[in-house]
Amino acid sequence: MTSFVSHVTVDCSDAYTLSEWWKPVLGYQDVPGDPNLPGHEECMIVDPDGKGVDVLFIEVPEVKTVKNRVHLDLRPRADLRDVEIERVKGLGATVVNDHRGIYGPGSGWVTFADPEGNEFCVLRSRAELATEPAGAEDVAADGSGSADGSNAAGPVDGAVAAGSADDAGAVSVAGAADQADA
C-alpha cells in the first residue's frame, strides 16, 4: 500500500488572514459548507475543480525563524510565468530571489514569500516548457535533473513533483534541497 498527499499544512500566526491571501493566488475557495471566518485557528482552502492539493492553515505560537524545508511550487494554469509573477507580486507577495535566466534565456523561476514569510516559487507554464527544443535541459545546481522530468532526486522545471495531486501542475510540493527549478 502507498499513501497520497491529502493536503499541505502551513503553520502561521493568523490562519484566516493567510488563507484569504492565498485564495486569489491559487484560485481556491473555502471548503463548501464550511467557511473560514476570522478567529478560526484552522482554515482550509480547496481547488474548486477538485484537482489541486488542499491547503490547511493552522495557527501556531511560534513565528517562522528559518528557511522553509518544504515549499509550494506554483505552475501557471493559463498565463506565462512572467505574467503570473506580476500577478502574484500585485497580490502582495515579496520577491526573495529571482532565478529567471539561470540556465539560459527563458529558464528559471522566482522565489517569493507570502505575508508571513512562507516561501513559494513560480515556475514556467506547461506551454512555455512545450516550446523548448527536443533535448533541452534545465540542469539543477547539483548537476541532476532535466526538463523531461527524469530527475530522481527531485523535480525540475518541467516535472511535476512526486505526490502532486494536480494534473495541471498548479501546485506541487518538493523538498527545497532536492529542488532544481525552485
Question: Which tens digits make up the pLDDT trace of 33-50?
Answer: 999 999 999 999 999 999
Same domain, 126 and 167: yes
Q: Given pLDDT bands bounded at 50, 70 and 90, which one contains residue 132?
A: confident
Q: Given pLDDT bands bounded at 50, 70 and 90, which one contains residue 64?
A: confident
pLDDT exceeds cutoff 50 at 149: no
Q: What is the mean pLDDT of the chain?
A: 79
Strand partners, 112: 95, 120
Same domain, 128 and 147: yes
Q: What are phi and psi of 105, to 5 degrees?
A: -55, 135
For residues 178 and 122, give the distance between their C-alpha atoms in angstroms, rounded to a whole number. 16
43 located within any domain: yes
3-state helix, strand, coil in the chain (%, to 5): 15, 25, 55
Provide the number of structural domains found in the chain: 2
137: domain range? 70-178
pTM reported for the whole predicted model: 0.73
C-alpha cell of residue 62: 511560534
16 located within any domain: yes
